[in-house]
Amino acid sequence: MTRVGTSSGPPAIVTARLRLEPLRPESIRALIAGDRRSAERAARVELPAEFPDAHDVAGFLPVQLRRMEQAPHRTEWTVRLMVLRRPRLAVGHIGFHGPPELVGRAEIGYTVFVEHRRRGYATEAVRALVDFAAAQRQPSVFLSIGSSNVPSLAIARRLGFHQVGVEMDEVDGEELVFELGLR
């Protein structure tokens, strides 16, 4: 994992095939407002038609923006675009639910856009965020996954996560909670 800094926010996290680039507040505000062109200009990448969807606009993006505003010095713990290094193309998004001190734990969430699934991007990106959390001295990292999400359950197990509980998500319903100890 390599980190590449920019003057406009936290550095990208670079993997073999991806750049995990912070989705900046101006992009999020534009997406919420329905201004895709401004969002893409701020993100410096074209976004697929499926992003954002109604769930993203109503819940996910406003929550991420609020957490950025609550802790502007901790935006490295919020959403990032998964951008292919070559060709430069957004294939998904990943990030922590927010700074661990705001959300109670270092929890990763991600989506790979439909046409880019089953190519290992999620595994590669989750592994990079686990490494990031370890470098920040987090004791562990969490994933919450719907019991019918077979691909994500396989990723959790492949990366060594262990189920530690079940919780009810107000949007997604019942989710299995997985933890990976980092120390």
Tell me the pLDDT tens digit for each residue of 134-177. Answer: 999 999 999 999 999 999 999 999 999 999 999 998 777 899 99
Q: How far is CA 150 from CA 82, 103, 159, 176, 179, in A?
A: 21, 26, 14, 12, 17
Quick check: 130 and 182 in contact, CB under 8 A? yes
pLDDT-derived band of residue 63, with 50, 70 and 90 as boundaries?
very high
Nearest residue to 76 via CA among 152, 158, 133? 133
pLDDT for res 5: 40
pLDDT above 60 (res 2): no
DSSP code for 26: H
Q: What is the mean pLDDT of the chain?
A: 94
Quick check: 21 and 12 in contact, CB under 8 A? yes
Higher-scoring residue by pLDDT: 3, 129: 129
Quick one: average pLDDT of 173-182? 96
Cα(125)–Cα(1) distance, integer angstroms: 10
Q: Is the dihedral of CA 183, 142, 136, 43 positive or negative?
A: positive
pLDDT for res 7: 45
Q: What percent of the chain has pLDDT above 90? A: 92
pLDDT for res 1: 54
With a CB cutoff of 8 Å and minimum separation 6, the contacts of 149 are none
Q: Which CATH class is domain 2-181?
A: alpha beta
* Region class of 168: left (phi > 0), else alpha (psi between -120 and 50), else beta: beta
Q: Which residues pair with 13 in a beta bridge?
A: 3, 20
pLDDT, tens digit, 9 for 90 and up, residues 81-118: 999 999 999 999 999 999 999 999 999 999 999 999 99
Cα(66)–Cα(50) distance, integer angstroms: 23
Give the CA count within 13 Å in the CB-facing half-sphere of 165.
7
